[in-house]
Amino acid sequence: MKLQMTQHGKTVTIETERDDLTSFEMVEQLRCLMLAQDYHPDLVSEAMPDEEEIDKIISDGIKELDNRSDCPEDRGIL
C-alpha cells in the first residue's frame, strides 16, 4: 500500500508491503504522515490517539468516575 500526502510543497510517502492493514494500523500510518508533515505531536495525539493513549483515556475516565461515586456506602456514610 502506498500513502502519500502533499502539503505546502512537501510530499511525504509511506509504502507498506501489505495491503490489508487493520483500521488501527491505517490510523497509525496516517499519524506518521501528519508527523512527517510537521504537525505538532500533541495535536496529532489529541485528534488521533493511538491504542496506548486510548487505554490511558479510558483508565483515567474510570478513575474519575470512581472518585465521583454517588453511592453512600462508597463514601463510608452508612
Q: Is residue 47 part of a domain?
A: yes
| Residue 34 belongs to domain spanning | 2-68
In this structure, the number of other CB atoms found within 10 A of the CB of residue 48 comes to: 14
Q: What pTM did the predictor assign?
A: 0.67
Q: Is residue 38 part of a domain?
A: yes
Chain segment 26-70, per-residue pLDDT in tens:
999 999 999 999 999 999 999 988 888 888 889 988 988 888 766
51 near 24, Cβ under 8 Å?
A: yes
Which residue type, as a one-letter code, is found at position 21? L
Most confident listed range (1-5, 24-28, 46-50, 73-77): 1-5
Nine-digit cell at 8?
A: 505546502
What is the full DSSP assignment across 32-54?
Answer: HHHHHTT--HHHHHHHS--HHHH
User: What is the domain count for the chain?
Assistant: 1
At which residue does the C-alpha cell 510530499 appear? 11
Q: Is residue 29 part of a domain?
A: yes
The residues with which 3 forms a beta bridge, in sequence order, are 14
